Chains A and B, each alone.
Chain A
Amino acid sequence: MDKYLNKRKNLAYPYVVWSVGFTVIPLIVILRYALLDRTGAFTLSNILAIVDPVNLKALIFSLEIAGGCTLICILLAYPLVLALKRLNFGGRRSTIFILILPMWMNFILKLLAWQMILSSNGILNLVLSRMGIGSIDISNTYISIMIGVVYDYLPYMVLPLYDAVSAIDDDIIEAAEDLGAKKLTVFGRIIFPLSIPGLMSGITMVFVPSMTSFVTADILGGGKLQLVGNIIEQEFIQSMDWNMGAGLSVALMIFVLISMAFTVEKHEQSDRQEETAW
């Protein structure tokens, strides 16, 4: 069908050049550090250090936070996207702006604001006690870290999902409803499958960065819990052990790439099924 656009893939060349210059070569720099010890001899110990109990614990905690954050973002985003599509107020440009605008405030300032909201003497507890509910103590726990990362990354889930869902032709949905399909069926059979490309983008943009958001963990977690990002940062800056820091970073990368290979595989399978279905 690509009668005219069969050479379309050439369009990716500038990006390939850019990637080699600014992603691949720096990656090689990191790999070199990761594979050498302080004396300059080859070693795998920096990468294998990820299974050291302390580091492994941080990795597992990061997975819990990133996984939980991704899941919560998906659960919050679908209803939001559907509601926005339904209400359609002000058109999509302003919808995007509403989502994006809070992100333009500096994130350290926002984290400090969250700290003020969540702290034991904070704004949330003030409001709750005025309402007669009493206070909750969630500051400096994993819950406040979770709130922080969900806050940080929710828009990155909503935007691609909204793009995908708002592109679905209303006629298809109406036709299905006319034919007696229940709302849940419409969602499961039409909206969800058609939004998968957007969902995949969203998952990547939420899951991966939330694993290393060490500033959020430090400010909202009271420094008591560490993500793998905190450990990498400590190795680089505090311990000045670039080899170890790079090693852990490479280990993390390998880990995420493997898990992503699985999702991509599944995704492509479902893609093919879709094609045959059409």
Chain B
Amino acid sequence: MNKKFCVAVISMVLTGLLLGGCAESPASVSSAPDTLTVFNYGEYMDPDVIEMFTKETGIKIKYEEAVTPEEMYTKYKAGAIQYDLLCTSDYMLKRLIEEGELQEVDFSSFEYKDNIGDKYWEFSKAFDPDNKYTLPYFWGTIGILYDTTKVKEPVHSWDVLFNGEYAGDIIMQNSVRDAFMITEKYLGYSLNTTDKEEIQNTYDTLLKQKPDVEAYLVDEARDEVVAGNAAMAVVYSGEAYLGHEFNENLAYVIPDEGSNVWLDSWGITKNCANKEAASKFLDFLCRDDVALKNFEYIYYLTPNETVKGQLDEELQNDKTLFPDDKETENCEVCTLTDPETNTLLNDLWKELKAN
């Protein structure tokens, strides 16, 4: 009797749990009318902004974070959660638009749309040709962050990463896209190249460079240079500003060969039931004070032109935060969505790591 009793008790607990699980409010699947489910990169919005929005409009926000665009895509596509709004990177937005995952947004109804500079609507056209689907949020470049006490000559070219002079002192980005893109630029190719021979050459260059690389890092690249563990690292421009804050001897450069200029933008998913609320949220993000709050939280480059005027003079003159148009002249937006090239790049990346 003893064992049967136990079996019965435990089975009951289990069933209870299972049923409890099923009975949970179905609201978490299909968003209630006054709730938006928002998907964004980690630490990419001031939490106060979300609270402000709820207070002003009564619309609640369910906020989800991811680290990479691929991770976002995986979770989005699995359909486990019905996202209403998502913020992701240029090439991923292109893919989502191509797959029909985003709905058109009526930007003409936006009150603060004009706060976003024309330049950035132009950038957007690389992946959203008619500016119908996406709203620019933050942007930046990829460049070299280096320690001026270790690197005496000012850096102008990607060559410092590849000429062997700083062997063992180089941090590369641990991401197939970033590593290939900058090397393609170094070799004078387009970073959206689909030419097999060019890609093979790029791979060979990276392979030759590998012994000189101290580490392939994503998140800690900036800290390693700040701490003096490496002389230079390939980083995003936003990291460069913070790096300089922590260590005055650091400098950031976009090499003359050109680089990648990236744009993170918002889109409304095709499943979003409450488009009005979603549009309201996007418009809210463009508002002067909200854009300033987010800028001061993230310190990436902002496409919102009202922000600069609200800052101290010192920040206004910071070339890392507000680069001249000249600096991004040779830069390209990544719009590579060709599956065949992607597979090739991923396979080569795996091979690079294995060697």
Q: Determine if A212 is an interface residue (Cβ-Cβ < 8 Å).
A: no
Closest to B11 in A: A14
B350 and A54 contact, CB distance less than 8 A: yes
Q: Is A143's beta carbon under 8 Å from chain B? A: no
Query: How many A-B residue pairs lie within 8 Å, measured between CB atoms?
Result: 81
Q: Is the interface of B mostly helix, strand, loop or mixed?
A: helix
Question: Given the known A-B contacts A17-B14, A226-B354, are A140 and B214 also in contact in the complex, defined by CB atoms under 8 Å?
Answer: yes
| Given contacts A57-B354, A139-B229, A240-B70, A224 and B215 within 8 Å (CB-CB) | yes
| B210: Cβ under 8 A from any A Cβ | yes
* A7 proximity list for chain B (CB < 8 A): 3
Query: How long is the Cα–Cα vector from A224 to B213 in the complex, in angstroms?
Result: 9
A58 touches B (CB below 8 Å)? yes
Q: Which of B11, B70, B227, B350 contacts A231 (CB 8 A)?
A: B350
Q: Restricting to B212-230, which residues have a CB under 8 Å from any CB of A?
A: 213-217, 220, 224, 227-229
- For B224, the chain A residues whose CB sits under 8 A away are 119
Task: Identify the stretch in A84-92, A188-196, A215-223 within 8 Å (CB) of chain B at 4 or more residues.
Answer: A215-223
| Interface residue range, chain B | 20 to 34
Q: How many residues of A contact B (CB 8 A)?
A: 37
A residues 216-265 in Cβ contact with B at 8 Å: 218-219, 222-226, 230-231, 234, 236-241
Expressed in whole angstroms, the Cα–Cα distance for A18 and B17 within the complex equals 11
Most chain B CB within 10 A, of A8, A120, A219, A238, is at: A238
Bound Cα distance A121, B229 (Å):
6
B14 lies within 8 A of A18 (CB) = yes
A contacts with B: majority SS? helix
A104 interface hit (Cβ, 8 Å)? no
B-side contacts of A112, CB under 8 Å: 220
CB<8 Å pairs between A and B, sample of 6? A11-B7, A13-B7, A58-B354, A115-B220, A139-B229, A240-B74
A-side interface residues toward B, CB under 8 Å? 7-8, 10-11, 13-14, 17-18, 53-54, 57-58, 112, 115-116, 119-122, 139-140, 218-219, 222-226, 230-231, 234, 236-241
* Given A14-B14, A121-B228, A225-B353, 9 further pairs, Cβ under 8 A: A7-B3, A13-B11, A53-B354, A54-B350, A140-B214, A140-B215, A222-B213, A224-B213, A237-B68
